[in-house]
Amino acid sequence: MSDNEIVSTEPATGAVVWRGACGSVDAEVSQARESWAGWAARPLAFRVETLRRFANVVRARADSFADLIARETGKPLWEAREEVEAVTGHVDVAISAFAERTGQRRLDSQMGMRLALRHKPHGVIAVLGPYNLPAQIPNGHIVPALLAGNAVVFKPSEKTPAVGAFLVDCYRAAGVPEGCVRLLIGDAETGRALAGHRLVDGLLFTGSARTGIALNRQFAEHPEKILALEMGGNNPILVWDTPDLYTAAVLVLQSAFTTAGQRFTAARRLIVDQRLAEPLLEEINRLIDRLILGEPHADPAPFLGPVIDNDAADTLTECFLDLSTRGGRPIRYLERPVEGRPFLTPALIDMTDSERSDAEYFGPILQVIRTGTFEEAVAEANNTRYGLSAALVSQDPRRYDAFWANVRAGMVNWNRPTIGASPKAPIGGVGWSGNHRPGGFYAADSCAYPVVSSEAEQARAFIGIGLRDS
């Protein structure tokens, strides 16, 4: 990557996927600013139909899209295909959410007056996308923003610009005006400049807590601008009172190691009844022995591929060593089986009697914590500044009731993985995991602001008290 160019390579092979010139923040925002009013003036039915055409465009290009996602992220092809399906499926969800969350309403009023509730778009919305789900997550911001009548300036992660460019081309092929969906190629500094641009009316962000906190500081003097943050998590999965340890092990592995652990909802901590710990870990180890780690198009299909790049792999290796120096006892080491490439084997480390770090290790590292009572387990689950996703594996409904009531997270699951959030529901968390719900069904809330109007067709007014006699 040079100062004026972004070069994207395949994590699995190092081959160049895409290269392109860095964009101008001023130019892209200006284009969006000039175009958004015309798009907002279009009838809602027109914008709805345009985005339904977008879904059809993606369906027609699904194979090429999935292949590109797999190559640029390193994730298995089957998982890339699921991401493409999520992109198309989100359109109908966003349309329903727009009608429910931001639709027009008539409210009861007195004296024959009308009280109307309508919503207006903000104007120009910036979207910063992550690399782990480089089509699905930004699409979940962009579609609601466009439906509401905003123009969008989208900066994809500098690690997945090719997927971002492909996604924007699909919007334009469907008829979204070029000025209303702008692609901004650049690095992290470009993202900061976009977020701070005076002509940007709001920012929808999914990414790390560190970046989200920096953005929050950047917006501190601009309360007039919407800032919706969906950040990561130090997510717990609890295993308690379950005789089916194989199923529990599968749920743990799906939670911790899907997408090579590069999901914001991935389980980072396994909190387990100390009486179940050894047999459960035996099941988990047997399953890990069977997991296929490989390049995206391998046959048989891998369960997980590499992490995004060598820098990420190096950082995760250092994190695992740091956990060991804190007193952690490695159960399975984090290994680099392919020299020079960012493939990492799933790792387990027992942190029960160790100094624990409240950090999001964005990769295939799972910390194990054994507890003696369920109350201790829930307290350990809450021992974090984050609060995105949490899951309980248990056959006792009373345990789940207590878990749901006491655990601090925006998404709480029972006998399901921590991952796999549905766009039909709000997506987001509390604490360092975010401030609004810019993903999922409530994304519409961040894309338009409510306007309440008291209306009467004829002016009538009088003052009934406080006047001197005439």
CATH assignment at residue 140: 3.40.605.10
What percent of the chain clears pLDDT 90, i.e. is strictly above it? 91
Domain shared by 215 and 291, yes or no: no
Asked whether residue 227 is assigned to any structural domain, the reply reads yes
For the chain, give the number of residues. 470
Domain shared by 107 and 247, yes or no: no
pLDDT value at residue 2: 55
For the ranges 18-27, 91-100, 108-117, the lowest mean pLDDT is seen at: 108-117
Asked whether residue 464 is assigned to any structural domain, the reply reads no
Question: Cβ atoms within 10 A of the Cβ of 17, count?
Answer: 18
In which band, very low, low, confident or very high, does the pLDDT at 113 lie, cut at 50, 70 and 90? confident
Asked whether residue 463 is assigned to any structural domain, the reply reads no
Spatial distance between the Cα atoms of 16 and 13, rounded to a whole number of angstroms = 9
- Are 433 and 387 contacting, i.e. CB atoms less than 8 angstroms apart? yes
CATH assignment at residue 362: 3.40.309.10
Domain shared by 17 and 136, yes or no: yes
pLDDT at 302 over 90: yes
Domain shared by 95 and 194, yes or no: yes
Domain shared by 214 and 137, yes or no: yes
pLDDT value at residue 111: 65
Domain encompassing residue 258: 235-414
pTM of the model: 0.95
pLDDT higher at 261 or 456 = 261
Domain shared by 56 and 202, yes or no: yes
Asked whether residue 333 is assigned to any structural domain, the reply reads yes
pLDDT higher at 462 or 281 = 281
| 318-345 pLDDT tens trace | 999 999 999 999 999 999 999 999 999 9
Question: Cβ atoms within 10 A of the Cβ of 311, count?
Answer: 11
Domain shared by 58 and 78, yes or no: yes
Domain shared by 251 and 340, yes or no: yes
Domain shared by 120 and 132, yes or no: yes
Asked whether residue 254 is assigned to any structural domain, the reply reads yes
Spatial distance between the Cα atoms of 153 and 142, rounded to a whole number of angstroms = 9
Number of domains in the chain: 2
| 206-242 pLDDT tens trace | 999 999 999 999 999 999 999 999 999 999 999 999 9
Mean pLDDT value across the chain: 95
Domain shared by 391 and 442, yes or no: no
Domain shared by 245 and 343, yes or no: yes
pLDDT at 469 over 90: no
For the ranges 2-11, 78-87, 121-130, the lowest mean pLDDT is seen at: 2-11
| 344-394 pLDDT tens trace | 999 999 999 999 999 999 999 999 999 999 999 999 999 999 999 999 999
Asked whether residue 461 is assigned to any structural domain, the reply reads no
Domain shared by 193 and 157, yes or no: yes
